[in-house]
A and B are shown apart, each in its own frame.
Chain A
Amino acid sequence: MIMNEEEFLAHAGLKTQTLKLWLEQHWLIPERTSAGTHFSDMDVARARLIGELQTNFGVNEEGVDIILHLLDQLHGLRRALDQLHKDL
């Protein structure tokens, strides 16, 4: 599902201010088009993860940054591995 900013905030349970911060940190990278910013279900799931890290696990801002960076690498590796698996 493609959402605009307002719909995304409602789905992810975020405040405008929080979203602004997360976008500045590049924690969320929504698709930007002529018609504005588009958010996907994946962005909602990622926002939920960030929210859980912060509220449930007590991870601070620097911690979230590191976790996301490692997680993105992990998924990069998993994709490469998956591709290898298909190539072999």
Chain B
Amino acid sequence: MTNPYEVLGVAPTASSADVQKAYRKLAKKLHPDLNPGDKAAEDKFKEVAGAYDLLGDAEKRKRFDDGEIDATGAERPQHHFYRDFATSDHAQPYTNNSGFADFKDADDALAELLRRSERARANRRGQDLHYRLPIDFVESITGANKRLTLPDGGSLDVTIPPGLVDGQILRLRGRGEPGAGTGGHGDALIEVEVLPDRRFTREGDDISMELAISLPEAVLGGRIRVPTPTGDVTMTVPKGSNTGTTMRLKGKGAPRREGGHGDQFVKLKVVLPKQPDPELEAFVSNWANGKTFNPREDSAP
């Protein structure tokens, strides 16, 4: 690493004002954004900036002078300069052609080429427009047709494909901003937000839900109605089901990309009657086996 005083071209005795002056003078000429075509300028600028980072800061300068830190201690973090973006297609709102507007009217080969390249840009595609569309969980599974109202009063009809996931982006080709010349419209990009559902949660292609069952249903089993995003179905609860018992409804999950459906998992939860029931109390107090069973046996310390 070069001596920062040499990089800035100042004497080790220079005042901080002189250091700043020297830096500004060099940096103005070397700043990569002011030298978009000069690759070497960036390295030189970094060296100068590094030197100034050290010497421009009174405390760091003192530590360097005392030999506590070396010149590399001032390495700057990597950063992207504006010039790295300015020649990309995204720079459209900023760049302008007035720098060669006068050349284009001439009647020679160069002017023709300039005109052609400008036409290529004049016929650019319109900008893509971004929207956000919230939909219900059920709609994300079954699919839906939604109408998106635009800020300008217009509307867009959006077809939600079945099985869509939160954050998925739908592209409506040609529904963006108009382009210039023959460039055509941009696209409308719609980010779909799936609103959470009270009953269902989704994991991959599978759907989970919790379902309350009564004590008789748990003990004796039975057929019960279970809601799914595509409508209610009947499910058989086996005898002796417990809280936490999970049943699988095959093919009642979200549609898979490669065909078929995921499954819906129904986790049972035994719920006692809301009102205390004397008959139940009488039964339980006389129920001998109920007293010998310790559900906490496994979790005992």
A residues neighboring B (CB under 8 Å)? 2, 29, 31, 33-35, 38, 40-42, 44-46, 48-49, 52, 56-58, 67, 71-80, 82-84, 87-88
Contact = CB atoms under 8 A, between A and B. Distances in A.
B95 A72 contact: yes
B301 interface: no
Nearest to B81: A45
B17 to A, nearest CB: 12
B263 interface: no
B56 to A, nearest CB: 9
Given A34-B131, A34-B151, A72 B94 contact: yes
Nearest to A77: B99
Contacts of B113: 84, 87-88
Say which size band chain B's interface belongs to: 35 or more
Nearest to A70: B99
A19 B81 CA distance: 19
Interface of B: 23-24, 27-28, 31, 33-34, 36-37, 79-88, 90-91, 93-100, 113-114, 116-118, 120-121, 127, 129-132, 150-151
A23 B276 CA distance: 67
A42 B41 CA distance: 20
Contacts of B33: 49, 71
18 contacts: A29-B93, A33-B130, A34-B129, A38-B130, A42-B91, A44-B80, A45-B85, A46-B94, A48-B82, A52-B31, A56-B23, A71-B36, A72-B96, A73-B96, A74-B99, A75-B36, A80-B100, A87-B113
Contact of A75 (B94, B118, B132, B150): B94
Given A35-B130, A35-B131, A38-B130, A82 B96 contact: no
B31 A87 contact: no
A72 to B, nearest CB: 5
B129 A33 contact: yes
A8 to B, nearest CB: 15
A4 B100 CA distance: 35
Nearest to A45: B82
Contacts of B91: 42, 75, 79
A76 B95 contact: yes
Contacts of A71: 33-34, 36, 86
Contact of B79 (A35, A48, A77, A80): A48
Nearest to A44: B80
Nearest to A83: B117
Contact of B37 (A41, A57, A78): A78
